Amino acid sequence: MGDGRKSFWAWGYEERLPNDEARKMLAETLGRALGFKGLTPRPLPKLEDVRIPAPRIPAPPHLDGSASLLDRVTHTYGRSYRDIVRGFAGDFTPAPDWVAYPKDEAQIAKLLAYCSKEKIAVIPFGGGTSVVGGVEAVVGDGYRGVIALDLRNLDRVLEVDLTSRAARIQAGATGPRLEAQLAPHGVTLRHYPQSFEHSTLGGWIATRAGGHFATLYTHIDDLVESVRMVTPTGLFATRRLPASGAGPSPERLVLGSEGILGVITEAWVRVQARPRWRASANVRFAKLEDGVQAARAIAQAGLYPSNCRLLDAREAMLHGVSADGVTVLLLAFESADHPLDAWIDRALSLAKAAGGTCPDGTRLRDAGQGTEERTGAAEAERGDAAAWRQAFFDAPYLQSALITMGVIADTFETACTWDGFDALHRAVKDAVRGAMQDACGAGVISCRFTHVYPDGPAPYYTFLAPARPGEELAQWERIKRVASDALIANGATITHHHAVGRLHRPWHERERPEPFGRALQAAKRALDPAGILNPGVLVDP
């Protein structure tokens, strides 16, 4: 974690991207390990060389914003494989015309009114970490221009209610920013998507992000108590309630709205005491099937581990957890209230009954009262889980570096019921391997479970294949299409937590009930009658 200058084309901070020497070594190591030939790091792009059209519209009146090259370039794309490839090539053709940095809801409301009248598209922008084209200004011809509306000035924790264990937080706060403000109150949100460092609370709510908990509190949905959203037709604010059975839930309309219904400005979220007790263990399995059986038994036992990540052998190798060809289940429990010996013992006995071994035993930790805990990647833990966590937060830098040497490196994720997992997994692996072979001549795919539910897992796939420079987007598109088709054909979802955006929309339309699509369109018409908000995402404006 840290400050620094964010890269205009790659993931994260410039200084954390592997340097030329490291990229060269990586190319050699990976070429050897995976048999990809001719991997050669290419020079990094320079800001002054990028291709970007001039702004088409003048600044809206009273705009707190900018049309500087850096502002427009850093608001052109999210951080998907496609985005990084285009950024690396210096292609910023879909740049927004202006970037707005409003300081309050009144400024947002004024801007939405002006843009509705002038037919200018507005794209709400949090951390810009979308991997589904969610912030890309591809809006069709019906607009005079596009404004990216960046929430970075709304980044404060406004109130903490320790009695109800909730906090009121502005939408533009990034993970580290909101955790740093919660820490003096002794509470934490503990929502750690892999993009934690750069993504925002508003983005998490708009995309229904998935965080650190493998069970129970998996999506941000489970942590949202109430929200405020500025729409072109007025303020949409919900009541603070622990639960309610009063008709369809208004929060549910906002969760996953992906910037098409309004601009989320703040939310009351459920926080918790910082955990004191931890128990963890790593279980090894000779076969993936045995690991799957163990994960299912634990998910169905009512134990609710905070971590229950199953890594197939290749995933364990890529993340530096194990190189000896075994499947690994990373198990952890945490609590602010009680020691966890009984929970980890029971989970381990279930895992062993499924054929697992635990050569290193369990690790129990009591941070003690008043112990200051650090969050995210810096969390001081030893063992495989720590190796995995470090690799987890470094992986996006590695992906950017791989792209610079001609490797197609991407991930996709889903969820399915346990009874459908075997067939889905086989179909996905066969389809993706076939597509990589056809498009690239080689490639590898790995799988892990990010979350497990009593009725099914959330499998997450990583694929790596050698690219032909200049053709990589066509090669990637072929693999991505085949993978997405396999998910939908096998009854799984197009996304467990990466959202729909522009990229997944064709498959989302196949997945959702048709009347639901119409209802969503009607909701959009009611809240955004001029159709200016993030056109092209989820539904047609």
Does 282 help bind ligand FAD (rule: CB under 6 A)? no
Nearer CB in complex with ligand FAD: 202/456: 202
Nearer CB in complex with ligand FAD: 433/451: 451
Nearest by Cα to 494 from 464, 459, 470: 459
Q: Which amino acid makes up residue 29?
A: T
Q: How far apart are CA 182 and CA 188, in angstroms?
A: 6
Instruction: For the CB of residue 2, give the shortest distance to ligand FAD in the complex, in Å.
Output: 16
Instruction: For the CB of residue 461, give the shortest distance to ligand FAD in the complex, in Å.
Output: 14
> CB-hemisphere CA count at 13 Å for 340?
28
Does 224 help bind ligand FAD (rule: CB under 6 A)? no
Q: How far apart are CA 440 and CA 530, in angstroms?
A: 44
Binders of ligand FAD in range 41-100 (CB under 6 A): 78-79
Q: Which stretches within 335-471 are classed as H helix?
A: 341-353, 383-404, 418-440
Neighbours of 64 (CB within 10 A): 13
Among 71, 155, 197, 258, binds ligand FAD (CB under 6 A): 258
Choices 106-114, 195-203, 297-305, 519-527 (CB under 6 A): range interacting with ligand FAD: 195-203
Instruction: For the CB of residue 293, give the shortest distance to ligand FAD in the complex, in Å.
Output: 25
Q: Whose structure tokens read 């979220």? A: 269
Does 195 help bind ligand FAD (rule: CB under 6 A)? yes
Task: Dig out the tokens for 141 from the structure.
Answer: 């011809």
Instruction: For the CB of residue 116, give the shortest distance to ligand FAD in the complex, in Å.
Output: 16
Q: For the chain, how far is it from start to end, CA to CA, in angstroms?
A: 39
Among 41, 202, 232, 456, binds ligand FAD (CB under 6 A): 202
Does 11 help bind ligand FAD (rule: CB under 6 A)? yes
Do 126 and 171 touch, CB atoms closer than 8 A? yes
Q: Round the CA-based radius of gyration of the chain to a whole number and report it.
A: 23
Choices 125-133, 284-292, 325-333, 334-342 (CB under 6 A): range interacting with ligand FAD: 125-133
* Chain centroid to CA 147: 23
Does 415 help bind ligand FAD (rule: CB under 6 A)? no
Q: How many residues bind ligand FAD (CB under 6 A)?
A: 38
Cβ neighbors of 68 (< 8 A, separation 6 or more) are none
Do 135 and 123 touch, CB atoms closer than 8 A? yes
3-class DSSP state for residue 321? coil
- The vertex-232 CA angle with 228 and 236, nearest 5°, equals 25
Do 482 and 435 touch, CB atoms closer than 8 A? yes
| Contacts with ligand FAD, 126-165, as mask; x by CB under 6 A | xxxxxx--xx---------------x--------------
Q: Which amino acid makes up residue 164?
A: S
Among 95, 109, 264, 427, binds ligand FAD (CB under 6 A): 264
Q: How far apart are CA 464 and CA 317, in angstroms?
A: 14
Does 206 help bind ligand FAD (rule: CB under 6 A)? yes
CB burial string 437-465: b at 16+ within 10 A, e below: eebbeebbbbbbbbbbbeebbbbbbbbbb
Binders of ligand FAD in range 334-373 (CB under 6 A): none
Nearer CB in complex with ligand FAD: 109/348: 109
| Contacts with ligand FAD, 384-413, as mask; x by CB under 6 A | ------------x-----------------
| Contacts with ligand FAD, 290-329, as mask; x by CB under 6 A | ----------------------------------------
Q: What is the DSSP letter of 109?
A: H
Among 139, 166, 171, 299, binds ligand FAD (CB under 6 A): 171
Among 146, 482, 534, 535, binds ligand FAD (CB under 6 A): 534
Q: Which amino acid makes up residue 144?
A: R
Choices 194-202, 279-287, 320-328, 369-377 (CB under 6 A): range interacting with ligand FAD: 194-202
Among 228, 389, 433, 497, binds ligand FAD (CB under 6 A): 497
Does 124 help bind ligand FAD (rule: CB under 6 A)? yes
Does 232 help bind ligand FAD (rule: CB under 6 A)? no
Does 498 help bind ligand FAD (rule: CB under 6 A)? yes
Nearer CB in complex with ligand FAD: 263/318: 263
Crossing angle for the helix pair 81-88 and 383-404, to the nearest 10 degrees:
40
Do 199 and 209 touch, CB atoms closer than 8 A? yes
Instruction: For the CB of residue 499, give the shortest distance to ligand FAD in the complex, in Å.
Output: 5
The phi and psi torsions of 33 (rounded to 5 degrees) equal -70, -40
Does 199 help bind ligand FAD (rule: CB under 6 A)? yes
Q: Which amino acid makes up residue 294?
A: A
Q: Whose structure tokens read 């991207």? A: 17
Beta bridge partners of 122: 147, 533
Instruction: For the CB of residue 484, give the shortest distance to ligand FAD in the complex, in Å.
Output: 16
Nearer CB in complex with ligand FAD: 382/525: 525
Neighbours of 361 (CB within 10 A): 9
Choices 32-40, 203-211, 329-337, 356-364 (CB under 6 A): range interacting with ligand FAD: 203-211
Among 207, 215, 218, 226, binds ligand FAD (CB under 6 A): 207
Query: Residue numbers of the site for ligand FAD (CB under 6 A)?
Result: 11, 78-79, 123-131, 134-135, 151, 171, 193-195, 199-200, 202-204, 206-207, 209-210, 258-259, 263-264, 396, 497-499, 534, 537
